Amino acid sequence: MSQRVRTHANPLRRFPGLEPPAWATVYAEPGHRFALDLGASTGEFLLGFARAMPDWNILGVEVRRPLVERVLDEIHEANLANAHVVYGNIAGRLADFTPTGRIDAVYILFPDPWFKKKHHKRRLLSPAFLAEAGALMRPDARIIAMSDQTELTAWMRENLEADGHFAAVTPTPLPAISAWEEHCRRTQRTYDHLEYARI
Ligand SMILES: C[S@@+](CC[C@H](N)C(=O)[O-])C[C@H]1O[C@@H](n2cnc3c(N)ncnc32)[C@H](O)[C@@H]1O
């Protein structure tokens, strides 16, 4: 049965029951390098990454529950032992959701722009998020962000530059393509690709 999926969900509401999984039950090799896909949505990037990067684990995070259920089904059907997705907002609890205690890559692909100033606190790549993630990232670990919203790109770049723990590097091709990137390419919509390395 098809399920209605909201277009937007407030990421700052409460997510009761949001707890990290027992890592050995979701990853065959919990000690592998670890990537986060924040705003995994329908999972195209997550699944493509898991197939292309068998020596990495990836954790998708998504605040729309029906999408999480669908992606979990696809992970199981594809027998992927290096991908998982959780329902909720893990900001403020990143260490709990990091199996090795270290983050090697963070992907924030086409995050919701939350245009109104009063909603900026809902944006993903905030100064608070950068402080938290930066403390867990190994030297040279990457933050990769994409957006087709120029004002949001400028805001993310400003936060990354202001943090002081990241240096801009030449963007490298991603191991997989997200649904929104695919949409932009198909419709010839321009978008930005930011890549920063933890210093
Ligand atoms: C525009 S979609 C982009 C999806 C996908 N990354 C892509 O590139 O196709 C943004 C997604 O982020 C989710 N989202 C927004 N805030 C979030 C948060 N704090 N944590 C996890 N997911 C979030 C939304 O529900 C939505 O599915």
The C-alpha atoms of residue 90 and residue 107 are separated, in whole angstroms, by 14
Closest CA to 107 of 18, 178, 182, 162: 178
Q: What percent of the chain has pLDDT over 70?
A: 98
Closest CA to 164 of 135, 192, 144, 193: 135
Cα→Cα distances 199→43, 138, 169, Å: 29, 9, 11
Closest CA to ligand 1's atom 27: 41
Question: Is residue 112 annotated as part of the catalytic site, yes or no?
Answer: yes
Q: Does position 56 have pLDDT exceeding 90, yes or no?
A: yes
The DSSP 8-state label assigned to residue 79 in this structure reads T
Structure tokens at 130: 């950068």
Task: Check residue 3 and give its pLDDT.
Answer: 65
- Name every protein residue with a CB atom under 6 angstroms from any ligand 1 atom: 9, 11, 38-39, 41, 61-64, 89, 109-112, 124, 178-181
**Per residue in 17-49, pLDDT tens?**
899 999 999 999 999 999 999 999 999 999 999
Torsion of CA 124, 88, 77, 30, to 10 degrees: 80
Please tell me the distance between residue 41's alpha carbon and the centre of ligand 1 in angstroms: 5
Q: Is 165 helix (H, G, I), strand (E, B) or coil?
A: coil
Query: Which mutation among 59, 124, 189 tests ligand 1's pocket best, with the greatest number of atoms within 8 A of CB?
Result: 124
Per-residue burial over 38-58, b if 16 or more Cβ lie within 10 Å, else e, is bbbbbbbbbbbbbeebeebbb
Please tell me the distance between residue 123's alpha carbon and the centre of ligand 1 in angstroms: 10
**Per residue in 101-160, pLDDT tens?**
999 999 999 999 999 999 999 999 999 999 999 999 999 999 999 999 999 999 999 999
Nearest-atom number in ligand 1 for the CA of 108 is 6
The catalytically annotated residue of 112, 140, 163, 192 is 112
The DSSP 8-state label assigned to residue 35 in this structure reads E
The C-alpha atoms of residue 88 and residue 141 are separated, in whole angstroms, by 24
Task: Check residue 6 and give its pLDDT.
Answer: 78
Average pLDDT score, the chain: 96
Please tell me the distance between residue 40's alpha carbon and the centre of ligand 1 in angstroms: 6
